[in-house]
Structure 1
Amino acid sequence: MIQRAHKKRVIAISGGAKNIGKGIALKFLELGWNVGIIDFDKHALGEFDVKIPEEAKKSILLYNGDVSDEYAVSEFYIKLKEKFYRLDAIVNNAAIGGFKNFLDLSLNEWRRVIDVNLTGYFLMARLGVPIILETAGRGSIVNISSTRALMSEPGNEAYSASKAGILGLTHALANSLGPNIRVNAICPGWILHEDEIISEREHLQHLTGRAGRIADVAELVYFLVDDERSGFITGQYFVIDGGMTKKMIYI
C-alpha cells in the first residue's frame, strides 16, 4: 500500500559522503528532499555531519556501511524507511579505483572492485526497489558509471570492467522495472574533486575549455530523477566529459 501521507520525497545515495556523491546529496537537500547516505568512509560521514546546517539534519540519514555487504545495505534501507517512511530514487555512486598493473592484479583485488562497483549497485537496487514500489509507487535509479566504461588506460582492467558492467545493468534494469521505475546511467569524465586544482593546460584539453565540476553531475542526476523533465528517458547512458571521448589523440 502506498503511504501517500508522507509527501516529502526521499533519495538514497551510495558513496554520498564526499566528492560527487556529496554534491548530489547537497543538491537534493537544497531541493527539499530527504536524503539517505550509505558510505564506507566513516571519517567522511563525520565531516559531512559536522558541516551541514543543524536544521538540515532532520532531513538526512547517515549510515556507515559497505555496499557490497547485503546485510549492511538491508539495514541501511530499514533505517531509511523507519526515518522517512518512503523512497523515491536511488543514486548508485559508491566506487573504488583499484588501478594496478594488470600482471600484478590479484584475484582478490579484482573481486573487491567488482563487488563494490557492480555488485553494490545490484544490491542497492535489489533491496531498494521494493520500498519504492511499496511507498512511492514510481521512481528512478541513476547509476554513476564512468567514461572508462568506454575508453581505458593501462592498469584499468578491474575498474573499467566494473563501470562497463554498470551500463549493462542499467539497460537490463530499465527493462525489468519499467514502466514504474526508470533507470539511467551517467558516465563522468574528469570531474574535479573537492579542492582539486589543475593546470590551465589540463583544463584546455577539454572541448569545453574546462574540466568538469561536481555540480555538473549533480544537475544531470536531478534531471534524470525528475519525472517531469525526463519521464520519457530510460535505459540510457549520458557522457559528461567536456567532449574528451570525441577527440582523436595520437602521439
Structure 2
Amino acid sequence: MTFTDKTVIVTGAGSGIGAAVATTYGEAGARVVVAEKDVKAGKATVNEIEKKGGNSMFMKTDVRLPEDIKHLVNKTVETYGKIDILINNAGVSRFKNVYELTVDDWDDVINTNLRGNFLCAQQAAKHMRSNTDGGTIVNIASTRAFMSEADSEAYAASKGGISALTHALSISLSEDLIRVNAISPGWIETGNYQDLRSIDHAQHPAKRVGKPDDVARACLFLTDPRNDFVTGENFIIDGGMTRKMIYEH
C-alpha cells in the first residue's frame, strides 16, 4: 500500500500504538502529522519517521482542549494543503474502584477518549469534504467496549461511546465521501514483548499477544482508497479473545 501525497494526522502518536501507526504511514510515503501532548515523545516519533526518509511534523496537542484541536487541523492544512486521513488514537485509562471513581476522573477519561475523538473528527471533516475524494477517519476503540474487567467503568464507557460514534459519523459524513471506521484492539503489548510469558501467548486463539504493528497495518487497510466499500465498521483485533468462551473450573 502506498500513501504518497496523502496527509495523515495521528493523535497520541508519541508512543505505543500511535507511534507505530505514525511511523508505518511515514514508511508508506504519507506526510504524517504527529499530534501529541508529550513534546519529547512526539518529537521522538517525528525523528524516527524522518530517519527513515519520511515527511513528518510535530504538533503539541491535548485533545481535551478544543482550541488545540482547531490549531492542529488549521496548521496541518496551512502546511500540507489538505487532510486525507485522521487516526483518532489519543486516549487515557483510569482503572479505579467504582465506589472511589471521582467526577474529575470520569470527565478526564470521557473528555480525552470520547469528546476528543468527536472534536478531532468534526474539525478534520470540515476540510476533508473539500477534497475531491473525501477522506477517511479511523477511531481507536477497544474490546473493552464489549467486555470488561472490574473497575473499568469510565474507560469502558468511553470506548463503547467511540464504537457508537463511529457508525453515527459514517452516516452523517457519507454525503461528503468521508468514510469512518473503528479498530478495537485487545491485548497489544507496548512494552518489552520478550518479557511476556508463554501463557500470555497461549491463551490467545492466535497463539500470540498483539503488537502495535498489528493495529498499524489495519489502519492502512481501512484508509486505502481501494477499500472504499468499508465504512461504519468496528474491526476487532484481539487474536480471537472476544470469541473465546472462558469459564473458571
Q: TM-score, normalised by structure 1?
A: 0.93
The alignment of Structure 1 onto Structure 2 pairs a total of residues equal to 243
Q: Is residue 2:68 matched to residue 1:72?
A: yes
**Structure 2 CA distance, aligned partners of 1:110 and 1:186?**
23
Paired AA for residue 134 in structure 2 = R
**SS of alignment partner, residue 86 of structure 1:** coil
Where 1:134 maps in the other structure, the secondary structure is: coil
Residue type of the partner of 1:141?
A: I
* CA RMSD, 1 decimal: 1.5
Rounded Cα–Cα distance in structure 1 between residues aligned with 2:189 and 2:52 = 29
SS in 2 for 1:53: helix
CA distance in 2, matches of 1:43, 1:154: 33
Task: Give identity over the alignment, percent.
Answer: 38
Where does the alignment leave 5 or more consecutive residues of structure 1 unmatched? 1-6
Alpha carbons 1:145, 1:166 under 8 Å: kept: yes
Matches for 1:129-208 after TM superposition, within 5 Å: 129-179=125-175, 180-196=177-193, 197-208=195-206
Conserved? CA contact 2:185–2:238, under 8 Å:
yes
Could you report, residue by residue, the CA deviation over 1:151-194 in whole angstroms, capped at 9, with x for unpaired residues? 00011000000000001100000110004011110100001104
Which residue of the partner structure matches residue 3 of structure 1?
A: none
Q: Which amino acid aligns with 1:103?
A: Y
Shift of 1:195: 2.8
Deviations 1:106-149 (A, max 9, x none): 00110000000000001101111011112454111101000000
Report the alpha carbon displacement of residue 54 of structure 1 after superposing the two structures with TM.
4.7
Instruction: Measure the CA separation in 2 of the matches of 1:55 and 1:153.
Output: 40
Change (3 A) 1:20 1:161: same
Local SS of the residue matching 1:148: helix
The residue identity in structure 2 corresponding to 1:163 is K
SS at the partner of 2:79?
A: helix
Q: CA offsets, 1:31-79, max 9 Å, x none? A: 101011211222211322444435746x211111211211001111121
The letter for the 2-side match of 1:144 is: I
- SS for the counterpart of 2:182 is strand
Larger deviation, residues 77-86 vs 130-139: 130-139
Q: What SS does structure 2 have at the residue aligned with 1:187?
A: strand
Query: Could you say which residue in structure 2 is the equivalent of 1:20?
Result: 17
Residue 101 of structure 2, aligned match among 83, 93, 105: 105
Cα contact 1:87–1:136 (8 A) shared by 2: no
2:34 pairs with one of 37, 43, 46:
37
TM-score, structure 2 length as denominator? Answer: 0.93
Moved over 4 A (4+): none
